[in-house]
Amino acid sequence: MFRRASRTGNKSGLQSTKHTAATHPVISTESRTFGTSGEICRVELKHNHTWFLYHAFPIFKSMSAPNRYEILEGLPPSGPMYICVSKSGATFYNEGYVIHFYRTDGTNWVANFNAGETDLKGVYELKASDNLLVIAKGECYIMHPDNQMPISVFRHNYSKLLMAEDGRYVLLGDVDITIVETDGTYWHSEQLSLDRIEDVKLEGNVISGITNNFIEDSEEWNAFTYNIDTKEVTGNTYLRRENDRNKKR
């Protein structure tokens, strides 16, 4: 069985490897690879002056530019041990959201992020900061590639991300909304719904959608708007309804 080429920091993620009698008892051969980030990598072996396809597999899910991080398909089978990243700082052993970070000093490390409960995931650049917004299935982390400790960790149930014209991010939770500023700071809106928020859109600095507020045994859907600059709310949101109910008592 031939030894597979090892990963390096080059664009393909792999390097050419010379196979000799020390690695294979019968033949001497060379291997070469083709492919860039997000493509299928071809590993070919040379024997008797002829190249043969040995193996093909995806290299990385995505790669940043310049190379500050790579989103991996899973935990690497070899190399240095990955680092668990979570809100509590505790070690965990299940596979989460895996990212390969590249430090400014040329070193690198692999993070295994503790994941949340939704399908929302990705790595997002911050317009006014070198930090990154990492979303691991709804769980949010503010990270710098140089550091293994998160700058901050918040929530675990975000289901949708929108980007404002000025570079701010809007995160949709179950009953409220979170705004991530361009420097990585963030804040949460008031509770807007009793159960959930749907049909969310962002136009300029105004978020619109509908909230689900139960009244006895029926469902009541109400349109609302939320200004992310003034924090002004219009519409029959959960908190507004509760305030009106308290005034009537």
Which tens digits make up the pLDDT trace of 51-105? 555 444 444 445 555 689 999 999 998 888 999 999 988 888 899 999 999 999 9
One domain, residues 5 and 66: no
One domain, residues 71 and 48: no
Q: Is residue 225 part of a domain?
A: no
One domain, residues 77 and 146: yes
pLDDT at 38: 40
Model confidence pLDDT, tens digit, residues 135-174: 999 999 999 999 999 999 998 899 999 999 999 999 999 9
One domain, residues 125 and 105: yes
One domain, residues 52 and 95: no
Range of the domain at 34: 1-59
Q: Is residue 32 part of a domain?
A: yes
Model confidence pLDDT, tens digit, residues 98-137: 999 999 999 999 999 999 999 999 999 999 999 999 999 9
Higher confidence at residue 191 or residue 214?
Answer: 191
CA distance readout (Å), 64 to 46, 71, 150, 163? 32, 9, 19, 18
Q: Considering 133, 155, 177, which residue would you say is the last residue of a domain?
A: 155
One domain, residues 45 and 67: no
Tokens 């503790």: give the residue: 114
As for how many domains the chain has, the answer is 2
Q: Is residue 208 part of a domain?
A: no
One domain, residues 121 and 145: yes
Q: Is residue 237 part of a domain?
A: no
